[in-house]
Structures are given as C-alpha cells and as structure tokens.
Structure 1
Amino acid sequence: MTRTVAVFGAGRIGRIHAANLAALPGVQVRYVCDPVADSAASLAQSVGAQVASIDDAVGDPAVEIVAITSPTDTHSELINRAAAARKHIFCEKPIDLSVPRAVACAEAVKAAGVACMIGFQRRFDPTFNEAKQRLAAGEIGEPEMLVITSRDPGAPPVHYLKASGGIFRDMLIHDFDVCRWILGDEVEWVSATGSCLVDPAIEEAGDIDTAAVTLRTKSGKLCQINTSRRAAYGYDQRFEVLGSKGLLACGNHRPSEVVQMDASGVHHDKPEHFFLQRYREAYRLEVAHFFECLQSGAPFRTTIADGVAAQKLADAASESWKSGQAVTL
C-alpha cells in the first residue's frame, strides 16, 4: 500500500521533511505547495513530485496525508483545511501563535476523525529518548527536577523574529514540551524573566534573546530552562534530570567523538553547529513513527493536545516575563 503525501512548504524544514518522506518505503510525495515558485519547483524535482496549489492538493482524493512545514502563521489554517478534507496531518510546531486558535484546530481535527501529529522532534532524538526510556524503567526512581540548557549558535534575522511570536513561542516551545514529556506531569506554575543581550535590534522588535524559566508541576516537580540566541561554540542542547535514586544527563552531540590529548591540552570537536545537524536523525525517526502509527493504529508520541499544552506554557511564560509576576495555570 502506497501512502500519498502533499507537502505544504518548501523552505528549510520542508526540505528536510520532504526528503525523509520520500525515502520511506511505501510513501509517495505527490505534491509540493509553496508560494515561492522556484523553491517549490526545486523541492518537487528533488523528491519526484509535482508543484501544485494548496486547493489542488487538498482536493485530490488520492492525497491521504498532508505535511505542513510552512511558516507558523499558516499552520492553523492549513490544519483546518486538511481536516475538512479528511486528510491525516503531520504539522511542524507550533499549531498557531494563538491558544484559542490552536484549541479550535484540535477540535476540528477531532471532529473530522483524522490523525494529527505535531513535530516536536526532540522526543525522537535517540539520546533524549533513551533517557525517557530509562526513566520509565525506574532506573533513577521518581523524577524530581529537570534542568534544560537550550542555546542557539546565533539569532535568526529580525524579520523572522517579528513574525515568530517571540522567543517563548518560537524557541522555548520545544523545551516546554520536553518538560511535560520528561517529568510526566502537567505544569501549574510558571515564572519567566529575560533580557536582550545579543542584539539591540531584537529588543526593538519587541522580543528578547536570553531567558530563564522556572516551572512547577502539579505534583511539585521542578524544571529550570536557560536559553540564549547566542552560543559561540555551537548548538548547545543538554538536559539533566534528577531522580530519587540518581541522575540522567544528556549531553551535546559532536561531529566526531575523537579526543586529542597533547602538550597543548585536550581537544575535541565543538557541538554540532545547528538544529538541522543536531536533530537530523530525530527528524527521520519522527516521520517514520508517524507512518508506523497510521499503519498500526497506535497513538502518536506527540499529539495535537501536546501542541496545545506547550502553547499554553509559552503564553504563560510570555505573560510572566512581561508582567514580572509568576503565572498560575
């Protein structure tokens, strides 16, 4: 059985997902849709697909699945259109910059009876997932505190940040999802603070580039997230979880694990440069998981409900930063 897919979005992340989809056995990327004609044509050619309008792709009864990899402000509309056409949906995070619209999307998906998975790829990272499996096996007892370090090597262009919804909705939303996933509990209290230390233009755009967030779950578990848009040494993605019987630490990935020791010191590679390198395997595994679950009927590891929950935490963090007060959910 061949599953036919339309990809909405031919940008950087769209290219990653389209290539991974095309490489899966039993999957055909039939259409690529993007308002930038050259980008759509280039990606379509690389995966053996056709360029089409969204109307044509959604209207084709042979298309069973849509992969939404377009800019954030288009996600909710495309989810709703796909659900109305009874297509299964894979959508990059976030669902929308508005929690009410995200909730409405979740309701539309449920009413349509279609499957929808949100692309929180960190749950599929082999290192992070190994930690989750060890937690589930009780190897360090009950998790009590999670500390997440999440730093980009550099800030994206200001024009991107203006449309991103801010650092909490754009960048930290992944970390909010990791918090819920690893601690296995819902957050009830959020305190966030931040500064603009990297680029004054980011502050002029109404955003920050450096943030610290503390979260407390309903059972009292704690999470601390520190993040920055600048890390001169590469893409810094680590966490450690402290449990009643021990600790699990997940470090950075490096291009190679060769360590050289000589008279000048001890040397090894810096961390992977950016998320496309750091999470290349996670992106491949998440789309494979999507199709495996469609085939078996098993639940997705990341659902649209997870997307809504992370969005609520992002909104709470943004409110806390702006008000200077903690937010209770």
Structure 2
Amino acid sequence: MRRRGIVIIGTGRIAAVHALSVRRNPALELTGFVNGFEAGDLPQSIGVPCFPSLATAVERVRPEGLVIASPTATHVEYLMQALRFGLPSLCEKPVALTRQPIVEAVEAVKAADIPVILGFHRRFDPYRREVKDKIVKGLVGSIEHLLQISRDPRLPDRDVIAHQGGIVADMIIHDLDELLWLVGRPPERVHAALARNADKSPDEVDDHDSVAAQLEWEDGPVAQITATRRAAHGFEQRLEVFGSEGRLICGDPMISPVVFDGAEATRLPRRHEHFPDRYQAAYQAEIDHLASLLAGRAAPISTILDGLNAFDLVERVNAAAGRLPVSEGLSAAGSS
C-alpha cells in the first residue's frame, strides 16, 4: 500500500493528538510539521522535520494532505495556502473568530473544488454517530427535547483564554454544531446566560466559565445546554435525546468497565481525564476519513459550511446572553 504524506500545521496539544492518529493509519505517513514561530518538542520527539512555512514544507516533502492545527487566527490563511497548493485538508475548529473570513473560506473551497474537513470531532465519535443513526432511523420518533451537559476538568490557562473568543466560541460551539447536526436546521429562538463561578479574578480577558442556554425550534424540539470549564469530578459530556417514541442516552464512557462493589462502598471507574482521551476514537476517525478522502473514497462529513453555521449560532448565543460579538470581545480583551 502506498502511504500518502501528511504535514501538520502547528506543534501544540491538538497537533500532538492528530500526529498520533496519522501515525496509526497505515495509509498515511507523517512527513513534517509547520510552525513559523517555534518548533517546540513535538517534531523532535517524533523524529520528523519542522518547517518555517507551508511553502517550504511543500517544496521539501511534497505532502498530499494537511492537518491545520495552528492557532485559530491563522486557520484561514493556511487554508487558502492549502487550496493554492491543491492540498485537501482537515482544519480544526473554529474556522475563524470573525464571520467574513469564514464566508471567504467557504467560497474559496467551493471555487477550488478541493475537499476540506472541519474538525467537529463529535460528528466522528462512534457513540454520537450511533445516536445520529438511531434518530435518522426514527427510533425515538419526533424529537421533543435535547439535553447536553459539557464540563471540563479545569480552567484553561488565562493566556490561552485571551485568544479563544470566549467560552461559547471555544467550547460550546461543539454543542451547538451537534444540535445543528442532530436536528438538521437552526433554531428560531435562543436564550442564554453566562456566568463566572469558578474564576473570580479580575476580568481582563472578558470570558466566562459557565453557560446555560435554551434553543427552541418553532415546531419542536427544545434543547438545553449546561456547561462549565471546571468540574471537580472530571471531564464529562453527556447527551439525551427525548422523543415521542422513546429516548436516547449517550453517557460518559469510563476508562474501565470494572466496578468495585464491597460491604462499605461501591466504586465506579474514573472518567477519561480530558477530551483527547475521551475522544481518541473520534480523532482517529477524523484522520481515517482524511485518508479515505485522499484516496477518493469519501466526501467530507463535516465541512467549512458547517463551521459557518455553527459560528452564526455562537453569535446568537452570545447576543442572547448580552455578550459582545466574538471579534469585539477579543478587541476589548486586548485593550485592557
């Protein structure tokens, strides 16, 4: 089997997750990284080169596909370069932190007719895909209510928060995209509240750590999202879909199926530590999908247009909560 070369843009945490997945796929070969600032330890630990630009990487190792896992502000720039080089790509979410660059990216991808996958990993998760499949088959009947619970184990570093565009754009965007995917259309009404419960320090980055949102479709369903950036019990993401014929419950998979049951206590196994562990299979499925796409056997499951639709819903949630749009919030944070 001929292995197709992949270059990863970025050398941070999510780049490391994708690098592992690329190396596990027998049809792909990780041939390099791109980082215009500093390479860090990742490329050396794997034993592949890190290039200062995508143009240099293309010249030196001639990749057949890209994974764009650099900071959000650079996604569209690298995506446009990928299109010029004719390279199909997997791009991390969000596409950008303002709407117009996302619109331009959607138009450019369409004009170039080069496939791009957007990294909404829940769409690739086998458990979430099982939920979607059962909905499509009509198992729950007409959907009347959806409940999403999302909790991270700890607050991100504040220097990271300052560049994420807020909890809705960074974290809740996955819940919102999942709703668009499961329901199939945007809601008519959005209600939301943001709060600072875990982080009481001065608000120099204009962010929140807790979210409560309700989204309503004219003819049903109603969806509710509850989320927080800090949970003492660990990483948690649960979903319930309630319908006229029954309900689907997608709980948290545990590290082990073994439960200790004794005279004085019952001990459940731990949850996965964070999203790279919980969604390892989903990230692998993303890369496997990229391999199928490069081989001409698939079309993108999650697209740049999905990213635009999710961004628009992010802005509606922020507006309902009385928060500045993402771009204005970043400006305010940068000026404080």
Q: Determine if contact 2:167/2:208 at 8 Å carries over to the other structure.
A: yes
Q: Determine if contact 1:58/1:82 at 8 Å carries over to the other structure.
A: no
Q: State how many pairs are aligned.
A: 322
- Following superposition, the deviation at residue 285 of structure 1 comes to 1.2
**Residue 192 (str. 1) matches residue 186 (str. 2):** no
Worse-superposed segment, 238-247 or 24-33: 24-33
- Following superposition, the deviation at residue 219 of structure 1 comes to 4.2
Correspondences of 1:145-184 after superposition (within 5 Å): 145-184=145-184
| CA distance in 1 between partners of 2:115 and 2:201 (Å) | 40
- Following superposition, the deviation at residue 190 of structure 1 comes to 1.7
| CA distance in 1 between partners of 2:226 and 2:37 (Å) | 36
Structure 2 residue matching 1:66: 3-state secondary structure: strand
| CA distance in 1 between partners of 2:142 and 2:298 (Å) | 26
| CA distance in 2 between partners of 1:188 and 1:3 (Å) | 44
| CA distance in 1 between partners of 2:186 and 2:43 (Å) | 41
- TM-score normalised by length of structure 2: 0.90
The one-letter amino acid paired with 2:322 is K
| CA distance in 1 between partners of 2:22 and 2:185 (Å) | 32
Q: Which runs of 5+ in 1 are unaligned?
A: 325-329
| CA distance in 1 between partners of 2:61 and 2:254 (Å) | 44
**Residue 236 (str. 1) matches residue 272 (str. 2):** no
- 2:57 alignment counterpart: 57
**Residue 25 (str. 1) matches residue 18 (str. 2):** no
| CA distance in 2 between partners of 1:190 and 1:49 (Å) | 47
| CA distance in 2 between partners of 1:79 and 1:269 (Å) | 41
Structure 2 residue matching 1:292: 3-state secondary structure: helix
The one-letter amino acid paired with 1:51 is C
The one-letter amino acid paired with 2:226 is N
Identify if the C-alpha distance between structure 1 residues 43 and 198 changes in structure 2 by more than 3 Å, giving closer, same or farther: same
Identify if the C-alpha distance between structure 1 residues 20 and 139 changes in structure 2 by more than 3 Å, giving closer, same or farther: same
Q: Determine if contact 2:143/2:220 at 8 Å carries over to the other structure.
A: no
User: CA deviation digits over 1:25-84, x for unaligned, max 9?
Assistant: 221222211245442xx4334445322122312456832211101111111111112112
**Residue 319 (str. 1) matches residue 324 (str. 2):** no
**Residue 12 (str. 1) matches residue 21 (str. 2):** no
| CA distance in 1 between partners of 2:188 and 2:99 (Å) | 17
| CA distance in 2 between partners of 1:219 and 1:74 (Å) | 39
The one-letter amino acid paired with 2:302 is T
**Residue 123 (str. 1) matches residue 123 (str. 2):** yes
Structure 2 residue matching 1:200: 3-state secondary structure: coil
Identify if the C-alpha distance between structure 1 residues 255 and 61 changes in structure 2 by more than 3 Å, giving closer, same or farther: closer
- 2:245 alignment counterpart: 245
Worse-superposed segment, 311-320 or 55-64: 55-64
The one-letter amino acid paired with 2:180 is R
| CA distance in 2 between partners of 1:267 and 1:98 (Å) | 46
| CA distance in 2 between partners of 1:61 and 1:188 (Å) | 49
Identity of aligned residues (%): 34
Q: Determine if contact 2:151/2:227 at 8 Å carries over to the other structure.
A: yes
Identify if the C-alpha distance between structure 1 residues 253 and 36 changes in structure 2 by more than 3 Å, giving closer, same or farther: farther
| CA distance in 1 between partners of 2:86 and 2:296 (Å) | 19
Identify if the C-alpha distance between structure 1 residues 58 and 219 changes in structure 2 by more than 3 Å, giving closer, same or farther: farther
Q: Determine if contact 2:148/2:238 at 8 Å carries over to the other structure.
A: yes
Identify if the C-alpha distance between structure 1 residues 217 and 297 changes in structure 2 by more than 3 Å, giving closer, same or farther: farther
Identify if the C-alpha distance between structure 1 residues 298 and 142 changes in structure 2 by more than 3 Å, giving closer, same or farther: farther
Worse-superposed segment, 238-247 or 20-29: 20-29
- 1:132 alignment counterpart: 132
- 2:307 alignment counterpart: 307
Structure 2 residue matching 1:241: 3-state secondary structure: strand
Worse-superposed segment, 253-262 or 305-314: 253-262
| CA distance in 2 between partners of 1:239 and 1:305 (Å) | 24
- Following superposition, the deviation at residue 181 of structure 1 comes to 1.2
Q: Determine if contact 1:59/1:85 at 8 Å carries over to the other structure.
A: no
- Following superposition, the deviation at residue 253 of structure 1 comes to 1.8
| CA distance in 1 between partners of 2:294 and 2:242 (Å) | 35
Q: Which runs of 5+ in 2 are unaligned?
A: 325-336
| CA distance in 1 between partners of 2:217 and 2:5 (Å) | 41
- Following superposition, the deviation at residue 323 of structure 1 comes to 5.9
- Following superposition, the deviation at residue 298 of structure 1 comes to 2.8
User: CA deviation digits over 1:7-36, x for unaligned, max 9?
Assistant: 101111101101211221221222211245
| CA distance in 1 between partners of 2:297 and 2:260 (Å) | 48
Worse-superposed segment, 216-225 or 229-238: 216-225
- Following superposition, the deviation at residue 270 of structure 1 comes to 3.0
| Two-structure CA RMSD over aligned residues (Å) | 1.9
Structure 2 residue matching 1:187: 3-state secondary structure: coil
| CA distance in 2 between partners of 1:59 and 1:309 (Å) | 35
User: CA deviation digits over 1:237-296, x for unaligned, max 9?
Assistant: 001001110000011121112112222232112321211111111111111022213324
Worse-superposed segment, 298-307 or 150-159: 298-307
| CA distance in 2 between partners of 1:58 and 1:72 (Å) | 22
The one-letter amino acid paired with 1:50 is P
| CA distance in 2 between partners of 1:190 and 1:64 (Å) | 42
